[in-house]
Amino acid sequence: MLEKTYRPAEVEAKFYTAWEQSGAFACDTASARTPYTIMMPPPNVTGSLHMGHALTFTLQDILIRFMRMKGRDTLWQPGTDHAGIATQMVVERQLGEKGIVPDRGQPAGANQTLIGRDDFVAKVWEWKAESGNTITRQLRRLGASPDWARERFTLDEGLSDAVRKVFVRLHRDGLIYRDQRLVNWDTKLQTAVSDLEVQPVEVKGHLWHFKYPVEGAEKTYITIATTRPETMLGDTAVAVHPDDERYAALVGRHVVLPIVGRRIPIIADSYADPETGTGAVKITPAHDFNDFEVGRRHGLEAINILDSRGRLNDSVPEDWRGLDRFIARDKVVAELEAAGLLVAVEDHLHAVPHGDRSGTVLEPWLTDQWYVDAKTLTKPAIEAVETGKTRFVPKHWENTYFEWMRNIQPWCISRQLWWGHQIPAWYGPDNEVFVAESEAEAAALAAAHYGKPVDLRRDPDVLDTWFSSALW
């Protein structure tokens, strides 16, 4: 008898289970039929589906079902992403509630127990086994029809082998390298984060105007404006525009950096905008992305004044060391005001980068990381559009594409986490790096280099999750 009320939770679950168990969603690799394949963009194992997932998967399911009905041998490949930062945060939070803290350089607090890397990773695998299947349950509830028997996880053995193999190959081709550059540093999570994980937040702050005394010229100053006074302790130049006549006579001379007493040059660079502020810009290559590029153009020293937790380090005068960056800000303002070098303070509404997961203010921080030479990798992609091999519809989106691709920066692919694909690189006693698919292979390379077996230490960092997701 037909039920009076339709109960979708019961009816749909019953039919879906029957479809899946019958093999209705499975591909047949032995079939002679023409194949049709879609790789499911792997959602994060930590989360739940959102509306964007529902839209994407609905459209993919429509295509798969349509091609299946047309007699094609269809494969909709399901999988989930290990989600390095998100997963580590979830498990760290759960362990923290039990007084267990990952031993990542910080001292244990009262009633806390430190846990090492191997034990922590084991805890994450336990969590995944218990709680990591929410998304696949939701996909089934939506009625999606991937080939579930082929479900994969980005940390599966085969996929991990592929990640190591590609990393090694790209490194040997010169497309992956280690460099010291600025990154978006999260002082709470203790890792570099991607530009896509940066959330600009409008903040009511201030713009402080300070006078820097010109060396050898009594009562002569050059005035700069900054929203981050604490970074002046790492200044290595003052820049003015080459065509700004107000400062033409000062280019090539030096100022004496207040508080620190360091002698720094006045340089001419088009980055300085004569129409903005005073037209003179303090240059701190280790703590500002634009300043970093100016520093490279002029060969300036990059002085990192902060540690990983946002405290002043040993590169500043002794009585400043250990101060939190925001406490140091207030102290800099107070000292320069007392010295008669504070010219003005303006209210200033500006965007401050925050970590989208931690909510903390991110710091441009100079550190050694692994990078992909994205500029080289974009060349065939640019050429494909230029020659018409790939077309944009509407065509005007080509301009946006070219703007992005031609100005692309090196891709930072290392993260200071424990959960993920550990970078396949080992260091010798003199920090010579050996990149290999296994420790045994790295040991053989090192023995050939040094002429004898040596002790190696593995790079502790893991790869950005998107590195493995891109291979997927």
pTM: 0.90
* pLDDT tens digit sequence for 5-31: 888 888 888 899 999 999 999 999 888
Lowest mean pLDDT among 12-16, 379-383, 451-455: 12-16
The DSSP output letter for 111 is T
pLDDT of 272 over the 80 cut:
yes
C-alpha 303/C-alpha 286 separation (Å) is: 6
The DSSP output letter for 392 is -
C-alpha 362/C-alpha 201 separation (Å) is: 11
Interacting residues of 119 by C-beta distance below 8 A, sequence separation 6+? none
42 pLDDT band (50/70/90 cuts)? confident
The answer to whether the beta carbons of residues 292 and 286 sit under 8 Å apart is yes
Mean pLDDT over 166-178 rounds to: 98
1 pLDDT band (50/70/90 cuts)? low
Instruction: For residue 222, give the 3-state DSSP assignment.
Output: strand
Mean pLDDT over all residues of the chain? Answer: 94
Instruction: For residue 130, give the 3-state DSSP assignment.
Output: helix
Q: β-strand 176-186 against 363-372: which pairing, if any?
A: antiparallel
Instruction: For residue 223, give the 3-state DSSP assignment.
Output: strand
Q: What angle do CA 408, 413, 417 make, to 5 degrees?
A: 145
Instruction: For residue 50, give the 3-state DSSP assignment.
Output: coil
Burial of 467 by CB count in 10 Å (0-12 exposed, 13-18 middle, 19+ buried)?
A: buried
Identify the sign of the CA torsion 214, 215, 217, 218.
positive
C-alpha 145/C-alpha 66 separation (Å) is: 12
Quote the radius of gyration of the chain (alpha carbons, Å).
28
470 pLDDT band (50/70/90 cuts)? confident
Q: β-strand 237-240 against 263-268: which pairing, if any?
A: parallel
Interacting residues of 84 by C-beta distance below 8 A, sequence separation 6+? 415, 417, 419, 420, 462, 464, 465
The answer to whether the beta carbons of residues 421 and 163 sit under 8 Å apart is yes
pLDDT attached to residue 453: 96
pLDDT of 127 over the 70 cut:
yes
Going by C-alpha positions, the residue among 357, 355, 354 that lies closest to residue 201 is: 354
- Locate 69 and state its tokens: 């009905």
pLDDT attached to residue 43: 85
Mean pLDDT over 370-397 rounds to: 97
C-alpha 187/C-alpha 191 separation (Å) is: 7
Percent of the chain with pLDDT over 70: 99
pLDDT attached to residue 348: 93
Lowest mean pLDDT among 40-44, 108-112, 197-201, 300-304: 108-112
C-alpha 135/C-alpha 468 separation (Å) is: 19
Place of tokens 């299947």: 133
pLDDT of 106 over the 90 cut:
no
pLDDT of 433 over the 90 cut:
yes
The DSSP output letter for 362 is P
| Amino acid at site 66 | F
pLDDT of 277 over the 90 cut:
no
- Locate 383 and state its tokens: 């050429």
C-alpha 350/C-alpha 328 separation (Å) is: 20
Rounded (10°) angle between helices 397-406 and 374-386? 150
C-alpha 181/C-alpha 183 separation (Å) is: 6
pLDDT attached to residue 210: 97
Mean pLDDT over 217-234 rounds to: 95
Mean pLDDT over 148-177 rounds to: 96
